[in-house]
Structure 1
């Protein structure tokens, strides 16, 4: 349980986590391919090739992880935590002005800052598919859209990204006035990603310069 003497103590309940399964799957495949090619170059390469391969891996692996595996959005009754490729932004619900969806999903703070939710991508194809299903159901008069296993009283189907944003908006509206949600946004840079990527870039540039 939270410490009653410490108003910023960690909540006792688990966060709701939003991630992109497609992004994670793509990242794992890229990492596997990079490891295969990189290890092969290190073991069988000649001259500077092994060093170039190591420098390339040192640069590429953190970037692939940052853009595919790392992004996540954590939500609980107190705050929203957005883990983007190079930053982690902690936003108490009271500091959030709105969550909006366009060509990307974003959160806007009352101070005017804007942060993209990398872990909840927008699927225009998913939106068109959901809209087409709804229009077909309306035209046929079938509330289940031709899928009888669905509850006819359930809300209209939406893409997974839009459903996630709806959940976050509902939580933000419900919790924005709660005492535990007050505070200012906190931004932390992901030096565990930036440092090795920068080191790999410098090493690769040096090796290419002397080749």
Structure 2
């Protein structure tokens, strides 16, 4: 039986809260913000198809690199925050916003699986569900909160950037609990 470090449990809970609040803003409020900023429904659809595409392609790329390692994860945290800031300056250009969204989608596709791996190294599977519940709370809370307080479309980008920064800070701190680098299936020895 694993005996979790109390600070790791709180940090994981805060990470999941911030990460899934970030996801909530992205999928609930950004499409409306883009439409109100002059994007067509087709353009919004193309932009929001980019993230799943990146999550599909990334495993193939990282398999060739030998797996996702800590440096990739830390880079993804920085890229996700940077892309959230790029959204402000690229909003006026479909192509530039699409490119920023590709970066954002790629980064977000790396971050969560890596933290899930850390979580399962530190806490038991039974406790994992309770810690991950904070993600659902974050998603619901941001949906309810922003549904009441948003007055301009750009405000959603401010909340997105702030939560991306919180995700970066908690995610970076979580690396102290990482017990090893990821391995590629190619690294496994066959008897």
On whether the aligned pair clears a TM of 0.5, the verdict is no
**Normalized against structure 1, the TM-score is what?**
0.25
**Normalized against structure 2, the TM-score is what?**
0.27
| Larger Cα-atom Rg | 1
Structure showing the higher strand proportion among its residues: 1
Larger relative contact order (Cα-Cα within 8 Å, sequence gap ≥ 6): 2
